[in-house]
Structures are given as structure tokens and as C-alpha cells.
Amino acid sequence: MRVLTILAAVYFGLMLLVFLAQRSMLYHPAKAPLETLTKLAQNFGFQPWQNSAGDFIGWKQLVQTNGPRNRVLIVHGNAGSAIDRVDYAEGVKRVMPCDVYILEYPGYGARPGAPSEKSLLAAADEAMALIEKDGPIYLIGESLGTGVASYLAGTHPKSVAALLLMAPYHNLTEVAQNHMPIFPVRWLLQDKFPSAQYLRAYHGPVAVVLAGQDEVIPKRFGRHLYDDYNGPKKLWEIDGAYHNDLPEQSPEWWQELVAFWKAGGVVNGSTNREEARKP
């Protein structure tokens, strides 16, 4: 009994530690002064994106033309900061002239605040309110950000033209439970990001890309989301790719994606590609 009591005390102590430290385990922001990041962003043709109060909320690169135009909003994963996601912007702009906005999360880069599901979704709503009045928006979500993109699609379905979800998940609880099987994650996790639930209110085209060797979000969780979605959808499974390989897609792939977006989606379309390089 003494041994069992000690083991139980250790277990519940570890569970309490996980509960208290969960957001530091989930979010891994890179922080830097705005001046430093602005100089870096200018190298890629981006400038600071501000809200109506003049606060920094991300990065933007605008097409110099009048009238309606394509607009892409990128919501990134749990590490680094927004400016690290210029690969997605460069990929889509090769095949589709567009304005690109990269949302910065609270507590990341030069943006004040602290990351949580509530703060990320509030930041995403604010971003949509700034740009959705000018017409439909294409969303690119990466990893953790696929939950944010799914939320935006479900909350603003008339404003979202199509989605690209890179390494998505059905809900974050499943992924966290996979990484910590000995704990009751369902009861501990505060930020659940139920992507599939968000997407039930959306019916537009959803493109999904899975990494066959994904060590962060195993591909079965993204496949679960894909299978659960009832709208127009297309799936790419990149057999030899790891989690961080997915931005490295060819111009031909981006052309295929944009064609899917513009066509309004291909129901149950599926293809298999092996282009990503191993790290």
C-alpha cells in the first residue's frame, strides 16, 4: 500500500505539472523587436500589418492594382513566428496574383499578449473583420493553425472561398493524447481546437496535405478530419515527408491547388505525391 500510495502521488504530481505547463508545452513562440522583424520582412516584400488602432497584427504584401483581387490569409503553426511562413506566400503567388496577409499570434514575434485558443481565435476574427469586406478570402492553415483556419471557415463561411490545411487534425485533444497516453488529456487540455466541429458550418473547397512520416501530427489525425468533411475536398499524401517538409512544394503543385480552389473543389478527389525532401 505504501508503494501504491507513493506511485499515485507521483502520478498525480506529474499530471498537475502537465496541466500547469501545458501552454508552454503547446506554444513555442519566437520573439523579436518589431524593427528587427520589419527589416527581415522587407527582404521578402512584406510590410507590417496593423489593425484600426495602429497595433501590429502581422505582415502583408499587396498587389499594386485596382479593383477586386485574390486575397490569401495565412495562419501558422505553433513554433517560430509569422514571418517564417513566407514560403507559403511565395508558393501561391507564383501561380495566382494575390494580396497576402500573414497573421501574427499574440505572444509571437513582436506582438504582445499570450497565446491560447481564445486569444488566437480572437486575433483571427479581428484579421477577418479587416479584410473580408473586400471579397472572398483563401485561407492557408499550417499545423496548429489548421484549427484556426477551420474556425474562420466555420465562423465566416460566406467570406472564405477555399482552404488549404497543411498537416491538420480532427481535434487537438486526439493529438495531445497520442503524445501523452498515460494521462487523461481530455480532462486536462484547455485549448482543444475542434477543427472538424468548426468545419461543419462550412461547405466550400478544402485541400488537405498530409506528411506520411509526420512525427508531430501523425497523418491518421488529418485523415480523420478529411474523411469527416462532407464538402468538396482533395487530399495529397506525401509518403516520405516529415512534419516540417510540407511547405516545400513545387510550382506545379501550387498550380494544381489553385486550380482546385478556382474550380470550386473536386469531390473526393485524391492524389499521391512524393516531392517533399527528407530533413
pLDDT higher at 146 or 265: 146
What is the rounded distance in angstroms from the CA atom of residue 2 to the CA atom of residue 111? 50
Confidence of residue 273 (pLDDT cuts 50, 70, 90): very low
27-80 pLDDT per residue, tens: 999 999 999 999 999 999 999 999 999 999 999 999 866 656 789 999 999 999
Mean pLDDT of the chain: 89
- Whether 159 shows a pLDDT value over 50: the answer reads yes
- Whether 7 shows a pLDDT value over 80: the answer reads no
173-227 pLDDT per residue, tens: 999 999 889 888 888 899 999 999 999 999 999 999 999 999 999 999 999 999 9
* SS3 letters across 45-75: CCEEEECCCCCEEEEEECCCCCCCCEEEEEE
Confidence of residue 13 (pLDDT cuts 50, 70, 90): confident
pLDDT of res. 67: 58
Strands 47-50 and 98-103: unpaired
* Residue 224, phi-psi category: left (phi > 0), alpha (psi -120 to 50), beta (remainder): alpha
| CB-CB neighbours of 57 under 10 Å | 22
- Whether 107 shows a pLDDT value over 50: the answer reads yes
Q: Could you tell me where the beta strands, DSSP code E, fall in 76-184? A: 79-80, 98-103, 137-142, 160-166
Single-letter amino acid code for the residue at 182: I
What 3-state class would DSSP assign to 95? coil
What is the rounded distance in angstroms from the CA atom of residue 208 to the CA atom of residue 260? 11
What is the rounded distance in angstroms from the CA atom of residue 146 to the CA atom of residue 101? 16
pLDDT of res. 275: 37
Question: pTM for the whole thing?
Answer: 0.90
Task: Tell me the HSE value of 193 on the side-chain side, using a 13 A CA sphere.
Answer: 30
**What does residue 25 show for φ and ψ, rounded to 5 degrees?**
-80, -30
Q: CATH top-level class for 2-273?
A: alpha beta
pLDDT of res. 204: 95
58-73 pLDDT per residue, tens: 999 998 666 567 899 9
Percent of the chain with pLDDT over 90: 70
Q: What angle do CA 170, 231, 260 make, to 5 degrees?
A: 105
pLDDT of res. 66: 60
DSSP structure string for 159-205: TEEEEEEES--S-HHHHHHHH-TTS-HHHH-S----HHHHHTT--S-
What is the rounded distance in angstroms from the CA atom of residue 148 to the CA atom of residue 102? 13
Confidence of residue 88 (pLDDT cuts 50, 70, 90): very high
Sheet holding 70-75, edge to edge: 47-50, 56-61, 98-103, 70-75, 137-142, 160-166, 206-211, 233-238, 269-273
